[in-house]
Structures are given as structure tokens and as C-alpha cells.
Structure 1
Amino acid sequence: MIAVLRSELYRTATVRASVLALIGLGIVAACAGYLSDEFWALMAGIGTFGIAVMVTCQHYQHRTAMLLFLGEPHRLRILAAQSMVAMALGVVLVAVSGIAVVASGESDRYLATLLVSPLLAVFGVANATIVRRPLWLIAGWLGWLLFVEGILYQLEGDMIFSAFLAAASGSTRGLLWVSIWTAASLPIAAWSIRRDLSGD
């Protein structure tokens, strides 16, 4: 497990696309923090989800998943290691991009967002393990966020990103629903990671 975790951290730190994506998403979220703390929380959540999807799907895109699975035949350990790496990246993204939010006196929102971001990172890893196509996944969830959660429900309710925003403002109900969404995605991901790679 430690070897897989070390390998995933090393790969993430040395793949230029991962580093640039983390920096880019961090800058976007940090700039959003100057506009409003709620907008920052949304951008930090999207960034956390996006970086988790990207670093997980890279194995399937670059055809390194087979080598990873040969090196570690217990695929649930790989899922756990990828989740831990995504959580670490999400926490770094939120912690660094939220400096403007803390400076404006919104430390409660900053801490609440920092607390819930690891759950959204694990949700991203689970989704990437199931779908294995980052463009489809990110475009699909952004469309869902914009049209369903944004336009139809005005970011209210218990759907994943709405619940994330509620949790980021300190709502225990929001935190509960993000936990439910994440927990519901993990068994599907645990089954999906065992799928054959030939179709990817």
C-alpha cells in the first residue's frame, strides 16, 4: 500500500499536466476568492473534483493502468491510494487558494470547505474509476451543475455540488449529503476497478 501511495504521489508530482492543472485550478479558485467567499468555495470544489478526476484517469488515458495493476494486484489498494492522493491534492488546492477568503475574515467558510473537500476528492476518484474518460466525466458533471443544480434548483437541495456548497458554509446536512454521495459511489468504483482494461 505504501509503495502504491508513494508511486501515485511521485507520478502526480512529475507529470506536467497534473502540476499545471493543480496550479491553474488553484489560481482560478484564488481569483474567485476576491469576488466572493461562496464563489471561491464553488470554484475550489470544482477544482478539487477536477484534479481528482484528472490524476485518476491519466492511468487509463496513458495505458499505464495495466502496469499499475500488475505491480499491485489488489485493486482496492490502488483505489485507496488514488483516493488519498486526491484528498491531499484537494486539501492543498483549497488551503492555498483560500488565503484571500481568510484575509477577508471568512475563516469559518475556509475551514468548512477544507473539511469537506476530501470527500469531494474521493467522489471524483470514484467517478473516474467508473467512467475512465475525463472529458466525458467533467463535461457531464459541469453540465449537471450548470443546468440541473444551477438553473433548475438554484444550487439548493441535496445534490452533490449543492450539498458541497451547503457543507462549505457549515451545514451539517450538507456534509451528511456529500458523505452519502461519496459513500454511494465507492461500492460502484470498487466493482468497476476490477473491470477489464481492453475496452478502454
Structure 2
Amino acid sequence: MIAVLRSELYRSLTVPASLIALLGFGALAVLTGWFDKNFWTLLAGLGTFSTAVMVTAQHYQHRTALLLFLGRPQRLSVLAVQCLVAVALGVVLVAVSGIPVLLNGDSHQYATTLQTTPVIAVFGVANATIIRRPLWLLTGYLGWLVFVEGLIGRLESPLPFTSFLLASAGDAKALVALLTWTAVALPVAAWSIRRDLSGD
């Protein structure tokens, strides 16, 4: 498992698309952190989710999943490693990009966002394991965030990204909602990772 973890970390940090996504969201989050802590939280969460989707779905997109699963037939352990890698990248993204928020004296929101980050990272991995197409997933969730959570739910309903935002502000009920979304997605991902790769 350590070898897979090392391999996945190396791949995630050397594939240009995931590196660009990580650095791009990090730079945006740093810039917004100087002006608004809530917008920083949103960008940090979206960056963590997007990075998790990219590093997971790239195996299917670049057809390396077959080689990975031939070398590691225990697919659930691969899913666990992908979750660990996404959490590590997300925590680094949030910790570094949130330095302006910390310097502005908002240490509480910095800490709660950092604590909530692993959950949204695992949610991203689970979704990418189910859908397997990063562009479809990211485009779909962007529309979901704007129309369903933003316009219809007014960022108050216990939906995934709204729950992340509220949990990052210290709302315990929102954290339970986000954990529930992730807990629902993980068993589906555990089933989905066993699917045949020929259709991807």
C-alpha cells in the first residue's frame, strides 16, 4: 500500500493537468483570502474537490487504470490510497492558500476549513470513481453549484458544497450533512471501482 501511495503522490504532482489545477486554485484562493474569508473557503473547497476529481479520474482518462488494477488487484485499497492522496493535496492547498486569512485574524475559519477539507476531498474521489469523466463531473457540479445550490437553495440547503461552506464556518449540522453525502457516495464508489474498464 505504501508503494501505491508513493506512486499516486508522484503521479499527482508530475501530471501537468493536476498540477496546474492545484496551483491555479491555490493562487486564486490566496488572492481572495486577502479580501473575503468566505470566498476563500468556497475556492479552497472547490479547489480541493476539483483536484481530487482530476487525480482520480486521470487514471480512467489516460487509460492507466488497467495497469494500476493489474498491479494492485485489490481495488478497494487503491480507492483508499486515492482518498489519502486527495486529502493530502487538499490539506496542503487549504493550509497554504489560507495564510492571508490567518494573517487577517480569522484563525477560527482557517482551522474549521482545514478540518472540513478531508471530507470534501474524499467526496471528490468518490464522485470521480463513479463518473470517471472529469470534464463531465466538474461541468455538472459547476452547474449544480450555481443553479441548484445557489439560485434554488440560496446556499442554505444541506447540499454538498453549501454544507462544506457552512461546516467551514463552524456549523456542526452542516458537517453532519457533508459527512452524510460522503458516506452515501463512498459505497457507490466502492461498487463502481469494480466495474469493467472497457467502456471508459
TM-score category by the smaller chain? over 0.9
Name the CA distance, whole Å, in 1 between partners of 2:133 and 2:38.
29
Matches within 5 A, 1:1-200: 1-200=1-200
- Between 1:15-24 and 1:189-198, the stretch displaced more is 15-24
Q: TM-score when scaled to structure 2? A: 0.98
Runs of 4+ in 1 over 4 A off after TM superposition: none
Letter in 2 for 1:12: S
* CA–CA separation in structure 2 for the residues paired with 1:101 and 1:154: 25
Cα distance in 1 for residues equivalent to 2:88 and 2:189: 19
Question: CA-to-partner distance for each residue in 1:67-125, whole Å, 9 max, x for gaps?
Answer: 00000000000000000000000000100110111111111000000000110000000
| Matches of 2:28 and 2:117, distance apart in 1 | 16
Deviation digits for residues 113-162 of structure 1 (CA, Å, limit 9, x no counterpart):
00001100000000000000001000111100000111112111211111
Q: Report the residue type matching 1:17 in the other structure.
A: A
Structure 2 gap ranges (5+): none
Give CA-to-partner distance per residue, 1:34-91, whole Å, 9 cap, x none: 2210110011000000000000011011100000000000000000000000000000
How far off is 1:15 after superposition?
Answer: 1.4
Question: C-alpha distance in 1, partners of 2:195/2:178?
Answer: 26
Q: What amino acid is the match of 1:140?
A: G
Whole-Å separation in 2 of the counterparts to 1:50 and 1:35 = 23
SS of 1:85's equivalent?
helix
Question: Structure 1 length as normaliser, TM-score?
Answer: 0.98
- Give 3-state SS (helix, strand or coil) of 2:197's partner: coil
Q: Which amino acid aligns with 2:187?
A: P
CA-CA distance at 1:18 after TM superposition: 1.7
Aligned-partner SS, 1:35:
coil
Count residues with an aligned counterpart.
Answer: 200
CA distance in 2 between counterparts of 1:175 and 1:160 reads: 10
Question: Structure 2: which amino acid aligns with 1:31?
Answer: L
**Percent of residue pairs identical:** 62
- SS in structure 2 of the partner of residue 155 of structure 1: coil
In structure 2, distance between residues paired with 1:29 and 1:152? 26
What is the RMSD of the two structures over their aligned residues, measured on CA atoms? 0.7
* Cα separation, 1, equivalents of 2:106 and 2:7: 36
Tell me, which stretches of 5 or more residues in structure 1 are unaligned? none
Code of the aligned partner of 1:132: R
